[in-house]
């Protein structure tokens, strides 16, 4: 799934503890303490009497003693905020049951039993959006990671797999559509009430259970699998939204075809349902046969969705579908193995999206996300391996490290093995572990055996946190070019000492005179230092390294600005070309921020950056999508990562100063560029998408260097726009300018899309993320807007996460930005703790910020920590952030 959560109150974890601790004491769950479940649940039957105000759940569990257990006669059934109205064992009232904190314990003497339990839920009161909850009159569930225990008492752990039969009934006028996992086997009605029975033949853990009931309409289609089976496909949405599901359906069919062709994985049911929900903590969830999606990853048309929205829908649709094998058919033994399914599936969706569009641009986008989200995790107080050793709250480990770095680690295996041998390894993995709850070690072993690799030392990537730092230096003598590499793995919390890890690095040596190289080489740095020599270079070549971003490391190259300008213009590896451009800008900005540049040096370095950008602007061999990537300046957060102690104000000033200088220096070029791409008509092809991308990039430079000209152009682009990409790009530029056109465009945008929640989210986010000098005041006003609510995670993120990711505003010298986010966390925690917890990490970066701001950030964390009755989600994040 895209992101996950669970509720706030402490619960006992049956995998690692004998008895629940006092409610106030945090439970630390450790991977080393794992033991198999005492009891298995081969079959589960659920009967729901549905109502938004009250829903009754009757569960029948067929349980069997686990031969791999210790023989304990007690079964622990997890609960969270629920009460048992009745309990029976083998048809008799259960007299031997008792509560242990939130959990239900029953002593069982035999080896097989049937346990019946009745619970009553209040879906409309469930603001945590975990378990069964109400969303705009519809009922739906979210059970990963530990939400099923909010529905009924159950051994809620991923290594207990069960075959589910689900019956639900309710008033037909309120819930005309009744959906669950698997296939609908029976249905009927009696007066105003109707019912449906669903059966999922594939055993699954409880976190994959799903139920949806409400007023829905579907976009229906079919797909024929490689073995000739016909699969019915439905995308269910609110009436009126069905016309915006076409792209999602095409993405689903493309995903199914791609997974057959690339990984040999065929869908295993006759029905696949997707439901779009507006109140959802995450992006989407891979429940077997019934994926539940945030509406933002389903609904799209040119008028309301940007090109980035279209890409995100395609990627998330693919991600959740691919989970059918990498997550559902083979699931996790325990939650420490989360990257087993998420890291592997992220890699699969990345490869899919690359095949569907521009492979080069997709790779750059993936790396940008890694660097902006995961690198800060690795260098901060929340650093953890992709397979964590312990946790208090599992929802806090649905992180960029587990997902994105996990994908990069598996990609390295693919790089070392090659695509064909890697496929042999994944085939072996699915063959060995189909229908099982597996571990990361099981996956690595399958790749090792199937691909013929020795991954003994490589396993360190699963156990060591931190981003490896690689220093590269090129030596040249007697016709030999030698690449000298050194690696260090930085200290992270709980891991003061690190071992060298195998780092696969693709490199090439360019001849400056010809602009060509003699071939790409793959070297593996598996020691602290090593030299790699290449003959046949009479003149000193130019080193291109970590091509394709072959390893998730930070590379420091001992090279010149002249070499970087050369690579930015000549490198035939798209990522390496982009990286040279980024390195050139980073080198200049870091020097300028540190005050180490004289006027002449500043001019020389800026001229080098200008020369590199001009080479991209006028390179006829470049497509516009890639040209747009080369024009994007490094993010302020990434610049901060390059410094031991960062001054956000200085970073912002220097970065915007460089943009303004380039906008003024190259004003005519950017104007000509904007004119050229403005003539390209709307389309979904790469050329049209590239043109729209360049429109926005040109406007951003002009807004910094020639704001009056940019305001006129942006207002004209906004007025003439026939698609959301152009309209949003123009509005984004106007939002950062203190000009009359800004307010006019904002008012028009809100009126034009009144009633469209997803587009109004954009309206909030554009203002909160803008460069306008009064953005703090704007966010305060927007928080009181009639369209704003703390009850919808999308709306909260659109305003406050956009603000928290806006360095100039969040890091205001007064500390007001920090206080605003801390206030939000405290207000939101009782309503939706999982969403609240995700606002803590921006404050947790205080150790890497200059002293004045650092003290203010730490003070807000201490204020949160001193607040009584914090959720476990927020408490763990704050405690670790303070250290």
pLDDT classification of 5: cutoffs 50, 70, 90? very low
Q: What are phi and psi of 88, to 5 degrees?
A: -140, 150
> What single string gives the DSSP state of each residue in 381-422?
TT---SS-SEES-GGGG-SHIIIIIHHHHHHHHHHHH-HHHH
Joined tokens for residue 146? 């530990």
pLDDT of residue 594: 86
b/e sequence 63-84, b meaning 16+ C-beta within 10 Å: bebbeeeeeeeebbbbbbbbeb
CA pair distance 520, 648, nearest whole angstrom: 39
pLDDT of residue 95: 74
Inter-residue contact 282 to 797 (CB < 8 Å): no
Place of tokens 């991977």: 31
Q: Which fold has domain 332-463?
A: Neutral Protease; domain 2 (1.10.390)
Q: Mark whether 260 is an active-site residue.
A: no
Spatial CB neighbours of 677, under 8 Å, sequence gap ≥ 6: 624, 690, 691, 692, 694, 695, 698
The SS3 call for residue 104 is strand
Q: What dihedral do alpha carbons 364, 369, 374, 380 form, nearest 10°?
A: 110
Encode pLDDT of 454-477 as tens digits.
999 999 999 999 999 999 999 999
Q: Which of 379, 847, 382 is nearest to 641 (CA)?
A: 379
Joined tokens for residue 603? 């001019």
b/e sequence 585-594, b meaning 16+ C-beta within 10 Å: bbbbbbebbe
Residue 8 has pLDDT above 50, yes or no: no
CA pair distance 836, 826, nearest whole angstrom: 8
Place of tokens 């509720």: 7
Inter-residue contact 200 to 290 (CB < 8 Å): no
If you average pLDDT over residues 867-878, what whole number do you get? 97
CA pair distance 619, 569, nearest whole angstrom: 8
Joined tokens for residue 269? 């049911």
Domain ranges of the chain: 1-215, 332-463, 753-883
CA pair distance 277, 294, nearest whole angstrom: 5
Inter-residue contact 169 to 98 (CB < 8 Å): no
Please give the C-alpha separations between residue 610 and each of 581, 619, 623, in angstroms, as whole numbers: 10, 14, 20
Residue 22 has pLDDT above 50, yes or no: no
The CATH code of domain 1-215 reads 2.60.40.1730
CATH class, domain 753-883, is mainly alpha
Q: What are phi and psi of 490, to 5 degrees?
A: -65, 155
User: Of 82-96, 128-142, 203-217, 305-319, where does mean pLDDT reach its minimum?
Assistant: 82-96
pLDDT classification of 687: cutoffs 50, 70, 90? very high
Inter-residue contact 392 to 872 (CB < 8 Å): yes
pLDDT of residue 595: 84
Please give the C-alpha separations between residue 204 and each of 158, 182, 207, 804, in angstroms, as whole numbers: 8, 11, 8, 38
pLDDT of residue 15: 36
If you average pLDDT over residues 193-202, what whole number do you get? 98
Inter-residue contact 367 to 424 (CB < 8 Å): no
Q: Which of 549, 550, 607 is nearest to 575 (CA)?
A: 549
Inter-residue contact 142 to 154 (CB < 8 Å): no
Residue 23 has pLDDT above 60, yes or no: no
pLDDT of residue 1: 76
How big is the chain by its Cα radius of gyration, in Å?
Answer: 28
Q: What are phi and psi of 190, to 5 degrees?
A: -140, 100
Chain centre to alpha carbon of residue 866: 30
pLDDT of residue 596: 79
Beta bridge partners of 492: 495
Encode pLDDT of 81-111 as tens digits.
999 999 999 999 977 899 999 999 999 999 9
- Cβ burial, residue 56 (10 Å; 0-12/13-18/19+): middle
The SS3 call for residue 164 is strand
Encode pLDDT of 834-872 as tens digits.
999 999 999 999 999 999 999 999 999 999 999 999 999
Mean pLDDT of the chain: 95
Residue count of the chain: 883
pLDDT of residue 155: 98
If you average pLDDT over residues 421-448, what whole number do you get? 98
Encode pLDDT of 240-257 as tens digits.
999 999 999 999 999 999
Joined tokens for residue 810? 């969040």
Q: Which of 169, 320, 448, 665 is catalytic?
A: 320
Residue 14 has pLDDT above 90, yes or no: no
Residue 9 has pLDDT above 70, yes or no: no
Encode pLDDT of 587-624 as tens digits.
999 999 988 789 999 999 999 999 999 999 999 999 99
CA pair distance 459, 439, nearest whole angstrom: 13
Residue 305 has pLDDT above 90, yes or no: yes
pLDDT classification of 20: cutoffs 50, 70, 90? very low
CA pair distance 492, 260, nearest whole angstrom: 41
Residue 722 has pLDDT above 80, yes or no: yes
Inter-residue contact 137 to 214 (CB < 8 Å): yes
Joined tokens for residue 141? 């569930």
């Amino acid at each position: 799934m895209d992101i996950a959560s669970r509720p706030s109150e402490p619960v006992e974890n049956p995998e690692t503890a004998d008895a629940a601790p006092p409610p106030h004491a945090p439970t630390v769950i450790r991977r080393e303490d794992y033991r198999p479940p005492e009891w298995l649940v081969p079959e589960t039957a659920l009967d729901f009497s549905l109502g938004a105000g009250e829903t009754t759940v009757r569960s029948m569990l067929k349980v069997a003693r686990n031969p791999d257990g210790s023989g304990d006669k007690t079964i622990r059934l997890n609960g969270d905020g629920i009460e048992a109205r009745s309990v029976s064992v083998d048809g008799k009232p259960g007299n031997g049951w008792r509560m242990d904190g939130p959990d239900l314990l029953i002593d069982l003497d035999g080896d097989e039993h049937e346990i019946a339990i009745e619970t009553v839920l209040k879906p409309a009161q469930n603001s945590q959006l975990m378990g069964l909850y109400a969303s705009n009159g519809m009922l739906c569930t979210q059970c990963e990671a530990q939400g099923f225990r909010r529905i009924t008492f159950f051994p809620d752990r991923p290594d207990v797999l069960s075959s589910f039969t689900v019956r639900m009934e309710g008033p037909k006028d309120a819930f005309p559509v009744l959906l669950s996992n698997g296939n609908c086997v029976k249905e009927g009605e009696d007066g105003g009430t109707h019912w449906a029975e669903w059966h999922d033949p594939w055993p699954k853990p409880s976190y994959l259970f799903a139920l949806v009931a409400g007023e829905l309409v579907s976009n229906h289609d079919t797909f024929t699998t490689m073995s000739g089976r016909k699969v019915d496909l439905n995308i269910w949405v609110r009436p009126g939204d069905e016309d915006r599901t076409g792209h999602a359906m095409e993405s689903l069919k493309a995903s199914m075809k791609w997974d057959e062709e690339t990984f040999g994985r065929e869908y295993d049911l006759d029905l696949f349902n997707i439901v779009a929900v507006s109140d959802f903590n995450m992006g989407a969830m891979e429940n077997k046969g019934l994926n539940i999606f945030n509406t933002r990853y389903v609904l799209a048309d040119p008028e309301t969705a940007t090109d980035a929205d279209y890409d995100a829908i395609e990627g998330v649709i693919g991600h959740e579908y691919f989970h059918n094998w990498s997550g559902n058919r083979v699931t996790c033994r325990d939650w420490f193995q989360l990257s087993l399914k998420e890291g592997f599936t992220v890699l699969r969706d990345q490869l899919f999206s690359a095949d569907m569009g521009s492979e080069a641009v997709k790779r750059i986008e993936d790396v940008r996300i890694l660097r902006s989200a995961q690198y800060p995790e690795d260098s901060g107080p929340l650093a953890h391996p992709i397979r964590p050793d312990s946790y208090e709250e599992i929802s806090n480990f649905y992180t960029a490290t587990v997902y994105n770095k996990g994908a990069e680690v598996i990609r390295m295996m693919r790089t070392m093995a090659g695509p064909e041998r890697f496929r042999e390894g994944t085939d072996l993995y699915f063959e060995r572990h189909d229908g099982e709850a597996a571990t990361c070690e099981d996956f690595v072993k399958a790749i090792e055996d199937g691909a013929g690799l020795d991954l003994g030392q490589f396993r360190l990537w699963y156990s060591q946190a931190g981003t490896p730092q690689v220093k590269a230096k090129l030596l040249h003598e007697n016709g030999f070019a030698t690449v000298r590499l050194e690696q260090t793995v930085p200290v992270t919390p709980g891991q003061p000492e690190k071992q060298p890890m195998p780092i696969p690095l693709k490199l090439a040596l360019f001849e400056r005179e010809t602009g060509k190289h003699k071939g790409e080489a793959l070297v593996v740095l598996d020691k602290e230092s090593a030299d790699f020599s290449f003959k046949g270079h009479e003149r000193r070549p130019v080193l291109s390294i970590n091509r394709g971003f072959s390893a998730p490391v930070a590379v420091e190259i001992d090279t010149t600005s002249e070499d970087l300008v050369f690579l930015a213009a000549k490198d035939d590896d798209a990522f390496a070309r982009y990286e040279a451009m980024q390195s050139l800008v980073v080198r200049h900005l870091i020097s300028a921020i540190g005050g180490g540049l004289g006027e002449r040096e500043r001019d020389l370095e800026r001229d080098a950056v200008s020369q590199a950008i001009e080479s991209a602007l006028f390179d006829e061999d470049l497509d516009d999508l890639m040209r747009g990537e080369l024009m994007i300046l490094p993010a302020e957060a990434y610049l901060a990562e390059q410094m031991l102690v960062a001054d956000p104000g200085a970073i912002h000033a220097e970065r915007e100063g460089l943009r303004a200088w380039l906008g003024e220096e190259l004003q005519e070029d950017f104007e000509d560029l904007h004119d050229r791409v403005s003539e390209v008509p709307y389309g979904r092809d790469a050329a049209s998408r590239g043109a729209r991308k360049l429109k926005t990039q040109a406007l951003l430079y002009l807004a910094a260097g020639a704001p009056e000209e940019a305001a006129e152009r942006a207002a004209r682009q906004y007025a003439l726009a026939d698609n959301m990409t152009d309209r949003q790009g123009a509005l984004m530029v106007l939002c950062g300018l203190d000009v009359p056109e800004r307010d006019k465009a904002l008012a028009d945008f809100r009126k034009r899309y009144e009633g469209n929640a997803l587009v109004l989210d954009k309206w909030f986010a554009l203002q909160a993320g803008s460069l306008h000098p009064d953005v703090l005041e704007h966010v305060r006003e927007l928080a009181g807007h009639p369209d704003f609510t703390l009850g919808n995670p999308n709306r909260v993120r659109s305003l406050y996460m956009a603000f928290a990711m806006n360095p100039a505003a969040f890091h205001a010298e007064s500390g007001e930005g920090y206080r605003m986010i801390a206030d939000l966390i405290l207000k939101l925690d009782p309503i939706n703790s999982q969403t609240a917890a995700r606002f803590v990490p921006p404050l947790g970066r205080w150790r890497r910020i200059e002293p004045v701001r650092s003290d203010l950030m730490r003070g807000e964390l201490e204020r949160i920590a001193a607040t009584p009755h914090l959720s476990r989600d927020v408490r763990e994040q704050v405690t670790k952030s303070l250290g």
